[in-house]
Amino acid sequence: MAAQFAAEATLRRVHSAQKDDDMPPIEAILAPLEAELKLARQEIAKLQDDNKALDRLTKIKIKS
């Protein structure tokens, strides 16, 4: 969801810059998106670790 908001904000900046004929450097557009993607990937990795831990815990409880 956060990545979608970042992408939409970037598109708004690009469209606004095109109207002004003063396009920002591509790095200025990509850097926030790359940062958002990095955070999203980290969050996904944490959630996957949590799921693995819950699966292990569930298997232990079932055996008991």
CB atoms within 10 A of CB 3: 13
b/e burial code for range 41-64 (CB count within 10 A of at least 16 → b) = eeeeeeeeeeeeeeeeeeeeeeee
- Report how far residue 29's alpha carbon sits from residue 42's, in angstroms, rounded to the nearest whole number: 21
- Say if residue 59's pLDDT is above 80: yes
Per-residue pLDDT at 18: 64
pLDDT, tens digit, for every residue of 4-57? 777 778 878 877 766 656 777 888 889 999 999 999 999 999 999 999 999 999
CA distances from 35 to 13, 25, 45, 48 (A): 17, 17, 15, 20
